[in-house]
Structure 1
Amino acid sequence: MRLAPTITCLTFVIVGCSATSPPQPDFHPLLATIEQRLDLAVSVAVHKWDHKLPVEAPERERQVLSEVRKHAPDYALTPDRAAAFFSDQIEANKLVQYTLMDRWNTLGSRPPTESRDLAHEIRPRLDKLQANLLFELRRVDRLAKDDCPKQLARALEQRTNDPLRHMALVRATAQLCKEH
């Protein structure tokens, strides 16, 4: 008979603890969207290789960051938070492009893949992903950040075995756990 009150008390303690724990970030949707953007970095690199263009595109970067700042409030994000996050996306994409171009220079050619139009095909897809990334950033920002760097590292570790992709994801999420 004395066991029943103890079990009841323990049940309330366990349920009470789990009910008060804040939800932890689910990075999967954000990381999947970042990966879609990184996939386009390959097409950008092919286009730039074929047209002998530099990886650096400062005017395009300014345009992207300006658009992100402008639309940040629509997603309940500060312009600075959105711009910092997108700066990381840009740097991650350039990391992929530089690495691929280095490989292709070493080999003397790029892989035989179809070149896609940067202005009319790739950039519109990047722009469309911008809204998804802002939405997912806000979703992650609303969740608790308890032990965020460790949780993010675990999530990144589970994404890929490709060292370049892993490093690009690390770069793309460099400020994700930063207080904003």
Structure 2
Amino acid sequence: MRLRLCLALFSALLANTACAAAPIPAPAPAALNPLLSTIQERLALADKVALSKWDSGKPVEDRQREREVIAAAIAEAPYYKLSNEAVEQFFSAQIEANKLVQYAHLSDWHAQGKAPNDPRPDLDGLIRPQLDLLQKRLLQQLADFTPYRKDPHCPLWLAKANKAAAQVPLRELALVRATAELCGASR
């Protein structure tokens, strides 16, 4: 009996020591929240883009526009001390996340036989200029977050932030896609 008690105490002591030795994750850096907020702002425009595509019958995929967006971002990369590869990867993820939202909305609207009666801002005159303005902010915020991209806690920070930020499954999925390559990437 005494041996069992000693073994139980010893096991409990080892378990407590192991728990105490486990590193506590570092808190997310302050640079993460503004970046995620701007990514969400960009994703919110996908709703309006989807309405425009619904009305015009244009496909979601616009490779020429995607190349232009990425080329413009890459052209500004040196100003923010970012590599062309990091900027291309980041904005490709933003575009893919945006398309994911558009495809989901269009699918829902086809199933319903109609799109919502929301206002339809002009894609070329209003929405794309907003996306272009967000691009500069995203570049700065990506540069601000870059020192943390290789931190071993980065995936945990993103997972928690994405869960907390998105109340709607589609938004969460889009946010996960938009941030999928943020961690572990090089400058």
Shared fold, TM over 0.5: yes
SS at match of 2:165: coil
Partner of 1:156: 162
CA displacement, residues 121-159 of structure 1 (integer Å, 9 cap, x when unaligned): 000000000000011111111236231101110111110
Partner of 2:130: 125
Is the Cα contact below 8 Å between 1:25 and 1:148 reproduced in 2?
Answer: no
CA displacement, residues 33-88 of structure 1 (integer Å, 9 cap, x when unaligned): 00110011100000010011100000000000101111011111001101100000
Match of 2:29 among 20, 25, 30: 25
1:29-178 matches, cutoff 5 A: 29-143=34-148, 145-178=151-184
- Give the letter for the 2:118 counterpart: T
TM-score w.r.t. the length of structure 2 is 0.82
In structure 2, runs of 5+ residues without a counterpart are 1-24
Instruction: Indicate the percent of aligned positions where both proteins have the same amino acid.
Output: 45
Measure the CA separation in 1 of the matches of 2:80 and 2:50.
30
1:32/1:98 CA distance change after superposition, 3 Å: same
Q: Which has the larger radius of gyration?
A: 2
Is the Cα contact below 8 Å between 2:97 and 2:175 reproduced in 1?
Answer: yes
In structure 1, runs of 5+ residues without a counterpart are 1-20
Measure the CA separation in 1 of the matches of 2:79 and 2:107.
39
In the TM superposition, structure 1's runs of 4+ consecutive aligned residues that sit over 3 Å from their partners are: 21-24
Partner of 2:16: none
Is the Cα contact below 8 Å between 1:25 and 1:145 reproduced in 2?
Answer: no
Is the Cα contact below 8 Å between 1:30 and 1:136 reproduced in 2?
Answer: yes
Is the Cα contact below 8 Å between 1:24 and 1:145 reproduced in 2?
Answer: no
Is the Cα contact below 8 Å between 2:43 and 2:97 reproduced in 1?
Answer: yes
Measure the CA separation in 2 of the matches of 1:100 and 1:91.
14
